[in-house]
Homo-oligomer: A and B are copies of this chain.
Amino acid sequence: MDTDVFKALFYPETVAVIGATEKKGKVGHALIDNLLKTEGNKQIIPINPKSTEILGKPCYKSLREYKGNVDLSVIAVPTKAVKDAVQSSLDAGARAVIVITAGFKETGPVGAVMERKIAKLCQDRGARLMGPNCLGLINTQHALNASFATQLPSAGSVSVISQSGALCTAILDWTVGRHLGLAKLVSVGNKADLDEIEFLGALAEDEQTKVIIGYLEGISSGNRFIKAAEAVTLKKPVVILKSGTSAAGGRAASSHTGSLVGADIAYGAAFKRSGIIRADTFEALLDYATALAMQPLPQGDRVAIITNAGGPGIMAADAVELQGMEVAILDRATASALKAKLPPAASVGNPIDVLGDADPERYATAIKAAQDDDAVDAIIVLLAPQAMTLPAETARAIGKAIRGEKPVLAAFMGGKEVMPGRDELVTYGLPDFPSPERAVAALKAMVDYYRWRHKPPRVVTRFPVNRRRVERIIGRYVRGGQHNVGEVDAKEILRAYDFKIPTGQIAQDVDQAVEIARSTGFPVAMKIVSPDIIHKSDLGGVKLNLSTPDAVADAFDLMMLRINRKMPEANLRGVYIEKMADRGIEVIIGMTRDPQFGPMLMFGLGGIFVEVMKDVTFHLAPITADEAMQMLKATKSYAMLEGVRGQTGVDLSAIANGLQRLSQLVSDFPQIVEVDINPFIVGPAGTEPIVADARMSLLTTGSEHE
């Protein structure tokens, strides 16, 4: 987003409101009312053909009548009048136009055409359009409420991007009394022009914005989103609540990989790839934002817990372990320091129990000791209101004791009695959560984000490959309009990317089959070759472990006989004879191309582990060596690869290497839409895995119309 557009949207000096009205209950009324209430440093110009004055301001029949220039125009006229309103705004020099009005793309194709037209109008004049069908925007730093939300939030460092206007108002209402200040709030609506990606980029540069939170139902462009998001998350945290997680389910697909990935998995992979913190619930979104906005990042996951009651302390420790963090083992010096100052009955382990009658001073002592301890990265401080508890004074003592180097998150449990304590906490910049579990979950988001910020730079290895050879094979399929690449050619493609393929050849008749088997060496596998047959084994087109010339001859004849009987129309190219792979562990590596985010690599242990246990992991290509290894480690069956019960493990880096080569292949050839290497047979360290079977499909002109 250009600087002048950003300025026009968020820091306008002149704002036109086309469709302003005095009629209460109308959007046009809320808009003008909000803007006038915060007029101050800006000039607000109401436009309505039927009025000469609105809320004490002179009103123009049209922006053309006004004659002066405007920076921003906010439009809330009936759908049919929007186009003209946009035109008049552009004529008045508006660099940004917000269309609040609904009735466009969301109503069907006619609305979609109208929407594209007004977007084009703006683009042709170098201006930008926000909306239509949105709530508007808010910028607390400019005291600008260009929305029909009635509440202007207090100023703060959290900015909001939402695809739902109602979520915006719910968030605005939530922040009142909860001390979460906002910087900017944007309701993107139908995203005819400006979308979440543009605003992400703009807010990344915004000095007032420390944390960006978002609500998304869908994304305009997966690739652009990932690139933009990655750039932003390296500067400041982005927390997103993505709804519609369950509805999608698995898609129809011919590969294992394809059938196992749902839209939600793709979003998960995209968020992970770009460092976005995912919130699973509405409350988590706001909890994480609060913690990230108020406290420094922890530099590790070792948590000290301070409490005035045993129960909540145990609950917090449970939550820390459940989230995969560590209940810190306090230094001996800390225990001594605490023992010297706390009553004898206090527990100086972790949780540090300052006892039910704890005064503010005891809390301060514990906070100081935990901050001093190098074995502590973060502090959770709990308070349950008891007979002698002074919530407000305790909050103040904690606030004075914190030094701001390690994050301190509080959970003052209860309601009315602890409320004054909560209010005090905020004045010291301390976030408070209603339960130990929620404080710990927010801390976990901070730990994850710290790790993202401090991960080594991503370096994708490029391997020397025979790209030309793959171009030729794929070219042949594309020219022939053939969607499915059979095993033989799929293996040729993989061989060109340095995958190890068993030696083999196609036989046209029995004698040739026996001859090839003799020269490759027994035992052999035999597989029918036909562009018409995808599921070879279902038709008896696969025979494994044949050890003698006779067995090969028998298999050839039987295969021909049976396939001719079951599928006489199939075009048979012969039978592929190849050396059986050595025994090893069977894994599957694959790829499916997500419509939003592009190539998703998959890894899993073969057979039932994939089919029944669904124990697979995904990552967006291109992938680094480290990410490939993480894919292996993230499966439940990883221990199998490392070797269980005294069995030797397999060559893990060889699998990771295979994933990287596959990543390179599918990045080089966007025509490849699905790949299954199944099984990919891996042996002990030092051996090279073998592609025992492979399948691929391409995007051809033929298949585009499928």
Interface, chain A (partner B; CB < 8 A): 25, 27, 30, 107, 148-151, 162-167, 169-178, 215, 217, 241, 243-247, 280-283, 308-312, 314-315, 317-318, 321-322, 345, 356, 384-388, 413-418, 434-438, 608, 611-615, 636-637, 639-640, 644-645
Contacts and interface: CB of A to CB of B under 8 A. Distances in A.
Contacts of A30: 387
A637 B615 contact: no
The number of times this chain is found in the oligomer is: 2
Nearest to A637: B612
Contacts of A244: 314, 318
B309 A164 contact: yes
A215 to B, nearest CB: 6
Contacts of A321: 246-247
A416 B282 contact: no
Nearest to A641: B612
Given A165-B356, A282-B315, A177 B415 contact: yes
B166 A311 contact: yes
Contact of A166 (B27, B174, B308, B637): B308
A281 B435 contact: yes
Q: Which of A30, A170, A314, A417 has the most CB of B within 10 A?
A: A170
19 contacts: A165-B386, A166-B308, A166-B311, A166-B312, A169-B384, A170-B385, A170-B414, A173-B413, A176-B415, A177-B416, A215-B311, A217-B310, A245-B322, A246-B317, A247-B314, A280-B437, A282-B437, A611-B645, A612-B639
A162 B384 CA distance: 14
A322 B173 CA distance: 27
Given A243-B318, A608-B644, 4 more contacts: A166-B356, A174-B415, A175-B415, A612-B636
Contacts of A166: 308-312, 356, 384, 386
A574 B394 CA distance: 73
Contact of A149 (B164, B247, B387): B387
A463 B318 CA distance: 42
A394 B27 CA distance: 20
A175 B637 CA distance: 46
A149 B356 CA distance: 12
Contacts of A414: 169-174
A306 to B, nearest CB: 14
Q: Lowest 9 CB-CB distances: which A-B pairs, in order?
A: A166-B309, A173-B414, A164-B311, A246-B321, A166-B384, A170-B413, A243-B314, A176-B416, A282-B435
A211 B511 CA distance: 81
Contacts of A172: 414
A121 B398 CA distance: 45
Q: Which of A148, A243, A322, A418 has the most CB of B within 10 A?
A: A243
B437 A385 contact: no
Contacts of A247: 314, 317-318, 321
B611 A315 contact: no
Contacts of A310: 164, 166, 217
Contact of A311 (B167, B246, B322, B637): B167
A219 to B, nearest CB: 15
A317 B438 CA distance: 23
A438 B437 CA distance: 14
Contacts of A177: 415-416
A283 B281 CA distance: 14
Contacts of A246: 317-318, 321-322
A167 B312 contact: yes
A318 B242 CA distance: 10
Contacts of A385: 169-170, 173
Nearest to A418: B173
Contacts of A614: 636
A169 B612 CA distance: 48
Contacts of A175: 415
Contacts of A165: 309, 356, 386
Given A311-B167, A384-B166, A384-B167, A173 B435 contact: no
B636 A173 contact: no
B173 A436 contact: no
A587 to B, nearest CB: 14
Contacts of A282: 312, 315, 413, 434-437
Q: Which of A107, A162, A315 has the most CB of B within 10 A?
A: A315
Contacts of A436: 282
B173 A25 contact: no
Q: Which of A310, A612, A645 has the most CB of B within 10 A?
A: A612
Contacts of A311: 162-164, 166-167, 215, 217, 243
Nearest to A148: B387
A386 B136 CA distance: 13
Nearest to A174: B415
B615 A613 contact: yes
A417 B217 contact: no
A167 B384 CA distance: 7
A176 B174 CA distance: 20
Contact of A178 (B314, B387, B415): B415
A151 B437 contact: no
Given A613-B636, A637-B612, A437 B281 contact: yes
A139 B615 CA distance: 52
A616 to B, nearest CB: 13
A174 B295 CA distance: 26
A314 B217 contact: yes
Contacts of A345: 107
Q: Which of A244, A247, A385, A615 has the most CB of B within 10 A?
A: A385
Contacts of A437: 280-283
Contact of A608 (B25, B315, B637): B637
